[in-house]
Chains A and B, each alone.
Chain A
Amino acid sequence: MTLRKSLVMLLYLLFVLVPIYWLVNMSLKSNREILGGLTLWPTAPTLDNYRVIFTEPSWYTSYLNSLTYVSMNVVISLLVALPAAYAFSRFRFLGDKHMFFWLLTNRMAPPAVFLLPFFQLYSAVGLFDTPIAVALAHCLFNVPLAVWILEGFMSSVPKEIDETAYIDGYTFPKFFVRIFLPMIRPGIGVTAFFCFMFSWVELLLARTLTSVDAKPIVAQMTRTVSAAGIDWGVLAAAGVVALLPGVAVIYFVRNHVAKGFALGRV
């Protein structure tokens, strides 16, 4: 029984890892080797592709641009979602259920629907081609998700804690920051992880709202096609580099990530 289980797990992990291995494999090859024939590992490993990414300004600035708007988005999402999630988990108020569902509907809105209006809106307010425009646009789906996850985590904190703190003379802001937030630290970490992830992987809005100054790495990657054909090696290296921040972030929340995927409600 356990043997069969481990076998299933191994096969699935193999299925997950082979394509990623292939990407890493290609990023370490020269273009001549890539197009010359199929090799299971690089016969003449080279870091040239990575050198291109870390020395050419259009590459590394786009990488930094992405990191900038993603961090902005995480901070904004958390700041507005924390109090709101507390309200949803502790109080009943006029229209609370409708408000909650309305928030969720924004997670369901296809980004394609919002392309043109976003473009016009952010051009009109003069934010086009800035990281903050992308950060705000990504709030559309990240804030509802953040509220959803945080609400799940907060609901599992017993209400008696709030009451005791108020009896002890804590004011709401003091209680919230000093006592409540530390208690749901895993929840905050997981929420930050999810906001990071969904903002980092999104292409459509990020590409539409930027042109030159704030170009994200995902958009830069679509421009590896030149007269000489696609630069496969650099493209693969960029893919590997784009994977790294996610791996780093998941390492920090590895113990709580499973609960986070269930939006805190198991």
Chain B
Amino acid sequence: MKIRDNRAWWLVLPVFVLVAFSAIIPMMTVVNYSVQDIFDPSTRYFVGTEWYREILADPRLRDSLLRQFLYSACVLAIEVPLGIVVALSMPRRGLGVPVSLILLALPLLVPWNVVGTIWQIIGREDIGLYGWLINHAGIDYNYASNPRDAWITVLVMDVWHWTSLVALLCYSGLRSIPDVYYQAARIDRASNWAVFRYIQLPKLKNVLLIAVMLRFMDSFMIYTEPFVLTGGGPGTATTFLSQTLTQMALGQFDLGRAAAFSLIYFLIILLVTWVFYTAMTHRDDMR
């Protein structure tokens, strides 16, 4: 049982001050912009909810929102099962363990624009291995001009980049299962599937929630990798929310609309993550 003591606030205070400086002040600026029409620093008008109404009716936002949800759904649908399979295939002991851990973690350590660069190179038909192989296998593939190819390339890139995270999470979940569980299963002559379904999967629930939450958050905020790889193109095929937003804010300097967009964007992530978080802490409380 935790001790009730409000003096603990003193320990949290530095974090609070630091994060308040880099979160609350900027957030207030965004809120401020979202309700005003700004021509220059001295000429500004209060416009109320006009930007919000405009942005919600904007087909560009709706398109990229739809694209974003589809993308995040694909990412989760591929990476979570694949991550579990990889984690189950991890060696249990010996030199293989640290080696595969480090190799698995490699993609996570690559700066995000380098991830884009790597796939930009390897997907090209003239100098890239994959692009060359696919084209020589007789399939017409060009991620720069064909929307479908671009979409697939971005997705494969994300799978390459982040499945390791899911795999490492699941691996640490699996390691926490005591050997006696497996021995009991062997005595009962449980099938591999039964071991997975009734021993491993329940133990993985906690880490899987974290994995799904992190992957949802990060795939929903994705910017750098597709920006480097395809620049959001061809057309707007791979323009996700963050890129639409940066175009609006920095490209067209459309502050009011971009600010309203930001807040709606943030709220969506907040809402979905809150669901995962409550599910997770609820389980923590029950322990």
**A interface residue numbers (CB < 8 A to B):** 1, 5-6, 8-9, 12-13, 15-20, 22-23, 26, 34-35, 38, 40, 76, 79-81, 83-84, 86-88, 90-94, 96-97, 99, 101, 103-118, 120-121, 136-137, 139-140, 143-144, 147, 197, 200-204, 217-218, 221-222, 232, 235-236, 238-239, 242-243, 246-247, 249-251, 254-255, 257-259, 261-263, 265-266
Contact = CB atoms under 8 A, between A and B. Distances in A.
B11 to A, nearest CB: 4
Given A38-B129, A38-B132, A110-B265, A93 B6 contact: yes
A113 B30 contact: yes
A251 B98 CA distance: 9
Contacts of B202: none
Nearest to A208: B250
B229 interface: no
Contact of B172 (A103, A114, A118, A262): A262
A91 B3 contact: yes
Interface of B: 2-9, 11-12, 14-16, 18-19, 21-23, 25-27, 29-30, 33, 85-86, 88-91, 98, 100-114, 117-119, 121-122, 126-129, 132, 160, 163-165, 168-169, 171-173, 175-176, 192, 206-207, 210, 217, 220-221, 223-224, 228, 241-243, 245-246, 249-250, 255, 258, 262, 265-266, 269-270, 273-274, 277, 281, 284
B14 A80 contact: yes
Contacts of A147: 15
Contact of B8 (A6, A91, A114, A239): A91
Contact of B30 (A87, A117, A143, A222): A117
For the residues of B in contact with A, the DSSP-based class is helix
B266 A113 contact: yes
For the residues of A in contact with B, the DSSP-based class is helix
A110 B266 contact: yes
B103 A13 contact: yes
Cβ-closest 3 pairs across A and B: A246-B109, A117-B26, A91-B8
B107 A236 contact: no
A108 B269 contact: yes
Contacts of B85: 8
Nearest to B91: A9
Given A19-B118, A19-B119, A261 B30 contact: no
5 contacts: A22-B118, A86-B11, A112-B249, A243-B106, A266-B207
